[in-house]
Amino acid sequence: MIVDTLSGRSPLYHLSRLAETLNLDLFFDDSFSAEGFNDDAEGRFLDPVYQTGSMGLFTSCALPAGDVFALD
């Protein structure tokens, strides 16, 4: 979703439409709905991503994944 939004293919205000096509139960509990994917929620998410930096975010995800999947 982030790549789709940042590439310009889907503006932030269309996130709820995209979320309607996804099976959100695979990722979230029943209390989460497609309406939760909106420009305000994405903005709150993108602020700390910007502050951390893309490389910091990638590193914080990649290192634990390497441990879990025993990557060398």
Burial label, 26 (beta-carbon count in 10 A; 0-12, 13-18, 19+): exposed
- Cα 54 to Cα 8: distance, rounded to the nearest angstrom: 18
Average pLDDT, the chain: 78
DSSP SS3 for 39 = helix
DSSP assignment of 14-32 equals GHHHHHHTS-GGGTS-TT-
For residue 49, the model assigns a pLDDT of 84
Model pTM score: 0.50
Q: Which amino acid is present at 47?
A: D
